[in-house]
Chain A
Amino acid sequence: MSVILNGGEISRALRRISHEILEKNHGPENLLLLGIPTRGAYLSRRIASAISEIEKTELESGTLDITMYRDDLRLKAPRTLLPTSIPGGSIDGKDVVLIDDVFYSGRTIRAALDSLNELGRPKSVQLAVLIDRGHRELPIRADFVGKNIPTAKEESVRVHLSEIDPLDEVIIEGRTK
């Protein structure tokens, strides 16, 4: 097990992502941040508060549960549903930024896109992730990345956030050397 990002590095990465989101979208006015539970939701909240601070405004963040849209439902025992909440109640015409902790096969994001499709028609959908570990199985890419980490498939990357874990850190497990 080794630590790839510590608390300070995580917060600096999130700050940079917040600035990049603002730059690309020309300000926070039409933004809708949606975190994918569990840890994506906390990251989304942190990015929203960073943006609020930078822009001296009040940007809320929502959550988007994708459980019902997963393509691997049939492979595992049923999962508990997690909350979905859309600030303002609608995604129509918004610049939606999906936020997740680890970007891996791309299947989670595919499910999230399906779920958004049911909820309405956003103006655009972008993706922000804290860690991109590669091994995509679908043609999906991230717009904002905290850190790219080349990994082997046997390894697992875990993001720990102080909201539910003892402290902020990103670790990698199962590395052979």
Chain B
Amino acid sequence: MIPRILGLVTAAVLLLPGIARAIDIQEVTSPGGIQAWLVKDDSIPFVAIDVWFNGGASLDAPGKRGAIHLMTGLLEEGAGDMDARAFAEAVEGLAASFAFDVYRDALTVSARMLTENRDEAADLLRAALVAPRFDEDAVERVRGQVLSIIDGDARDPDEIASQTFNALTWGEHPYGSPLEGTRESVGALTRDDLAEAHRAVLARDRVIVGAAGDITAEELGLLVDRILGDLPETGAPMPGMADYQLPPGTTVVEFPSPQSVALFGHEGIARDDPDFFPAFVLNQILGGGGFRSRLMQEVRVERGLTYGVYSFLGLSEYGQTLGGRFSSSNDLVAEAIEVIRAEWTDLAENGVTDEELEAAQRYLTGAYPLRFDGNGRIAGILAGMQADGMPVDYIATRNDRVDAVTAEDVRRVAGRLLQPENLHFVVVGRPEGLEPSN
């Protein structure tokens, strides 16, 4: 009798290489037509659900920067017939938890619900997503909190660095400005602006669902419709591509601190680029996590110039960077920058050794299965895979693609991707012996 109300359920059983355990992802289509991915595991009586809305804070209307961020903060501050306190009491009374967050490419909701009261918890989440109230007192309270965050960011060297870097890199594109908005833009937001922000983002045509835990595919289909079925079909159009516009150089922002924070980078590579996997492995060797990377070895272990340095592939939907970050005492930062430039150059010219490549591959392929630990983590991974446009069998093929990368691939991609002459360093602090380029 269930299949009548259920759309389509297909299962793909994926064996992780080297691990004799299946991650069994079921693709679920709800009766109302919403897609969801599920890993069922009934050993603990709760379910974790990640609901993501693509577009995120980049869908702010012109002149309304910060509207989507403020709106996100208000989703749990009163919904339906409940004011903020009544809503919070209801959630606590069910021991459910909903975490609302917003990024440049997505608004995310991570929910946990006990099996024993799942439907009631789902009704609360539905109310928050579909019928937030934006009561005046709640708006003013949360607006005050946002303004204090904006003030705090203005005195936080890490935030100053990333805001400076983003503004120089992406200009007028939403990526170029902090998604919290400015004192002026947030101060001017009206209740109508918040309602408009809500309509722009929370729509069914951009929703992604990942779930893991104690729920069947049939139950999940019904639950998803219960939570999301009353949302409008469409929202605001997605933002266009962001033009990379960061020239090479050094920007210094004066800040009173014994240490300088440095954020640096140049143009990156997209996830769907044919060279993505070589670039992924290359970044691991250059400055990926752990002590073994070139940057950690040269800057921290050999010279003691920093507590930590890393590099990253910035894989945003509409513009990519290859970047890095470290902080060093003001008298050491110039030397650290020289060491980083030298590593960049060496890798670009000489590529990596076979030993480095093999170590990186063993780490990346060995670490991958360990990510799938716990319902909360798995639900997030399932949502992330869909957001990145990956096929449902990606988990089974991913390690093979890492292992297929050759030293020659890395050498070729390093030559293309790493551009020491194009690096731009944003340094926030009082660096000594470092000349700004403009």
Is chain B found bound to chain A in the same assembly?
no
B residues within 8 Å of A by Cβ? none
